Copies of this chain bind each other. A is one copy, B any other.
Amino acid sequence: MRIKYEELLNKFEDILYRHGFEKEAAHQAALVFAQNSLDGIYSHGVNRFIRIISELDKKAFNPAATLVKTNSFGAIERFDGNQGFGPLNATKAMDRAIELADQYGIGCVALGNNNHWLRGGAYGWQAAKKGMIGICFTNTTANMPAWGGKNTKIGNNPFVVGIPKSDGHCVVLDMAMSLYSYGKVEETRLKDEVLPFPGGYNKNNELSCIPKEIEETGRFLPMGYWKGSGMSIALDLIISILTNSHSTKDISKFDYEIGLCQVFIAIDPTKFNTAEQTDKIVEGIVNDIKSSIPIEDGKSVRYPGERETYVREDNLKNGIPIIDSVWETILKL
C-alpha cells in the first residue's frame, strides 16, 4: 500500500509522543522517519520505526536527552550527545556546523556520546538544501575485520558528502565502508539470490557471493578491500580525537550499539561563488557524468543522490510504499 507523507508523519509523531518523546521532539523525530521514507530509504525510515519504538520502550536511549556543548574554539565545537535520540542530535549538530560555516566560511561540530544517526545521507541533504557543502561521518560498532584480519575490528562508518544545487537536485553521497550492508546480504539470502560481487569471506578464507557463507563467518568485506578498511580506521580516528568519546572499539564493548559519535563539517560556497556559479559548476559535472555511454543499453549512469530526488517526487505525489504487515504493526503501536 502507499500512505501519504502527511499521514505517515502524523502517525509517527503520535506514536513517538505516546512512547515518551516530548511534543516538539516527537515532531522532529517523526520528520526523520517520514523524510527518510519519502526519499525511499525505507530501511532507515518506516522499516526501522518499529524497532526504534521497541528500543525506546526498553529505555535503550533517552528521548529527553539532547546535545550539550562542552568545548569550542572559533569554527570548531564539541558536543556531548548524552545518548539522546541519535538523528535529532545529529540534525542539530549539522545545523550548528552550518551556522559556524555562515560565520567562518567553514564549521565543524564533533558530537560525542550520541547514538546511531540512522541515515547519514539525511545530514548531507540537510546541508545541501541550505546551500552548503556538507561532509559528515559516524563510527559504529565493529562489524568487519580490518584488511588482513579475521575478527571484527572496524565499523562500517558511513561517510557522507552533500553538494548544493538551487533547484533541489543536490548531489548526496552516502557510503558505508562495507561493500554491502547486513540488510542487503540478509535480503539477498531471503530472496535465495547471490550477491553481484563478493561481499565477504567464507570459512575457507575465500571471497564469496553467497550470503549464508558470509553471515556464517561474519567476515564482511570492506569496499575496495584494503581501501575501505583504511578509510574506516581513519574516520574513527578523526571522530575519536575530536569528540574524545567512544571509538569503534569502545562501542563494541557495550551491550547494545549505543554511544556512537559523529563529525559534521559544513562549508559555505556562497562566500566565494554566487549560487548561479555553483549551480553551473554542479550542472556541468553532473551532465558530463550523465553523458557516459552506458554499459547496458537504455540504462543511464547515475550520480550520487539522483535516485532520491525522483523517488521523493514520486512518493510525495503517490504516497510512500509500505509493506502491509509493517503498516498494520505500526497502527497498533
Mark A residues whose CB is within 8 Å of B: 71, 73-76, 78, 103-108, 110, 133, 135, 145-151, 153-154, 159, 161, 163, 171, 173, 175, 179, 197, 205, 223-225, 227-228, 230-231, 233-238, 240-242, 244, 247-249, 265, 267-269, 271-273, 277-278, 281-282, 284-285, 288-289, 291-296, 299-304
A237 surroundings in chain B (CB, below 8 A): 161, 163, 171, 281-282, 285
A-B contact pairs, 8 of them (CB 8 A): A148-B292, A154-B289, A161-B234, A171-B234, A175-B231, A224-B227, A244-B277, A249-B284
Docked CA distance A143–B76 (Å) = 36
CB contact under 8 A between A269 and B241, given known A228-B224, A247-B285: yes
Contact A148 B295 (CB under 8 A): yes
A75 surroundings in chain B (CB, below 8 A): 74-75, 104-106
Q: A295 contacts which of B150, B154, B173, B289 (Cβ < 8 Å)?
A: B150
Contact A241 B281 (CB under 8 A): yes
CB contact under 8 A between A241 and B78, given known A105-B108, A227-B223: no
Q: How many copies does the complex hold?
A: 2
Q: Which residue of B lies closest to A287 (CB)?
A: B249
Contact B289 A146 (CB under 8 A): yes
Docked CA distance A316–B310 (Å) = 57
Contact A288 B105 (CB under 8 A): no
Other contacts beyond A233-B304, A249-B288: 18, CB < 8 A: A71-B271, A74-B103, A76-B106, A133-B238, A133-B241, A149-B294, A149-B301, A153-B301, A161-B235, A161-B237, A163-B237, A173-B234, A175-B227, A223-B225, A223-B227, A240-B281, A242-B267, A265-B265
Q: Which residue of B lies closest to A104 (CB)?
A: B74
CB contact under 8 A between A273 and B249, given known A146-B292, A150-B292, A179-B224: no
Docked CA distance A135–B291 (Å) = 31
In the assembled complex, the CB of A130 is this many whole angstroms from the nearest CB of chain B, namely 15
Contact B73 A285 (CB under 8 A): no
From A75, A240, A299, residue with most partner B Cβ within 10 Å: A75
